[in-house]
Amino acid sequence: MPTLKRGLTLAATVAATLLGLLLVTFLIGRVVPVDPVLSALGDRASAESYAQMRSQLGLDLPLWQQFLRYVGDVLQGDLGTSVLTSRPVLEDVLRVFPATLELATVAVVIGTILGVPAGVIAATHRGRWPDHAIRLLGLVGHSVPIFWLGLMALLLFYARLDWVPGPGRVDVFYEGMVDAVTGVASIDALLAGETDIFWNALHHLVLPAAILGLYSVAYIARMTRGFMLDQLRQEYITTARVKGMSETRVVWRHALGNITVPLVTVIALSYAGLLEGSVLTETVFAWPGLGLYITNSLLSADMNAVLGGTLVVGTVFIALNLLSDLLYRLLDPRAR
pLDDT higher than threshold 70 for residue 12: yes
- End position of a domain, from candidates 44, 75, 106: 75
| Cα angle: 90, vertex 19, 21; to 5 degrees | 65
Q: What percent of the chain has pLDDT over 70?
A: 91
31 and 117 in a single domain? The answer is: no
Helices 260-276 and 89-124 meet at what angle, rounded to 10? 140
The number of distinct structural domains making up the chain is: 2
Q: Has residue 222 been placed in a domain?
A: yes
- Work out the number of other CB atoms within 10 angstroms of the CB of residue 257: 10
Provide mean pLDDT across the span 148-169.
87
Q: Distance from CA of residue 227 to its chain's centroid?
A: 24
Q: Which domain holds residue 52?
A: 2-75
Q: Has residue 82 been placed in a domain?
A: no
Q: Has residue 39 been placed in a domain?
A: yes
pLDDT higher than threshold 80 for residue 274: yes
Residue 26 contacts residue 67 (beta carbons within 8 Å):
yes
The CA-atom distances, in angstroms, between 170 and each of 63, 189, 224, 255, 285 are 45, 11, 35, 43, 11
pLDDT digits (tens, 9 = 90+) for 31-63: 766 666 766 666 676 777 777 777 776 777 787
Provide mean pLDDT across the span 182-202.
86
Provide mean pLDDT across the span 75-83.
80
